[in-house]
Amino acid sequence: MSPEPTVDQLIQAAHTRATSDDPLDLLDAILALTRNLSGHADAAVDQAVRQARDAGYSWTVIGEHLGVSRQAARQRYADRVAQTPAALGLIRGRDLEAGLAAALAAAESDHLAEAGTEHILLGLLTDGVAAATLEQLGVSRDKIRDASHRLFDYATEPAHQGRPIFSAEARAALAGAEQLATERTPSCAPVAVTTPQLLAVIATNPGSRGRRVLNDLGVDVADIKRLLHCYINVPRTAFGRRSRRGRPGKKQADRCSFCGHGRSDERRLVSGPDVWICSECVTLCGEILAAASDTGA
């Protein structure tokens, strides 16, 4: 087990991470580092509690080992254990696992403490649908690396030794992919989180570092949407498609027949013969037809 970092080591790491010599920037960097350390500790305890629950131990026994009451242990950990991907029945595909491992390896080669969404973009080129999509759009590992080092301030000297962790933005992207997979998988099938969902989440987030790399490379996000559309766009119902028949006497909410989203102030719906299409799908259709016209397809 690695020894706990000393105060001097934390200060030195914070100086490397800080964006300037301003004491407040140093304070922000130290707070971020200590949050990461406490987050690892919390995650380790969560995992141990989850394993204990899976093994059949009661909250009373777990509480005794934590030094708290049964009620306190349940209140603190029950929801956190229940919200893990494994507890929710989520399965990470082999392509996604390989991509995430490659992303961490890329951040480690850059001597960074955290792997960002630009590293996930690199990892997604390892295998699967996302890799094929990016390759089709002319994206390569060398291009992503060049753009990342041009856009972001990477230290020229090794600033971190050891295995990096995913940044908050990267973890949010992965959570978004899990949510997207949950929403778009038929309820009769297991929810598998694979590379298309993660690429879609990163590409459609204008502020993500991965999206900034794609913009720098001149990749049109509409092309990514078009190529991934059939892999992620199945509404979650019993048979993978929205039923047009509801329960007798109960009005069904209007939903887009293509993406499954409901009507909202931002997403207007246009009706047809027993079908609906939302404003976003209309825009996407226009982009696809315009692209086909430009290529003479």
| Cross-strand bridge partners of residue 90 | 191
Tokens of 76: 């603190």
Between 237 and 49, the higher pLDDT residue:
49
Percent of the chain with pLDDT over 70: 71
Is the full-model pTM beyond 0.85?
no
What is the C-alpha to C-alpha distance for residues 152 and 30, in angstroms, rounded to an integer?
A: 20
- The β-bridge relationship of strands 90-92 and 191-193 is parallel
Question: Each residue of 52-75: pLDDT tens digit?
Answer: 776 777 888 888 888 888 888 888
What is the C-alpha to C-alpha distance for residues 146 and 224, in angstroms, rounded to an integer?
A: 21
What structural domains does the chain harbor?
A: 7-82 (no CATH), 90-232 (1.10.1780.10), 243-297 (no CATH)
193's enclosing H/E stretch is: strand 191-193
- Would the pLDDT of 37 be above 70? no
Question: Each residue of 131-187: pLDDT tens digit?
Answer: 999 999 999 999 999 999 888 877 665 555 667 888 888 888 888 888 888 776 666
What is the C-alpha to C-alpha distance for residues 181 and 185, in angstroms, rounded to an integer?
A: 6
The one-character DSSP state at 244 is S
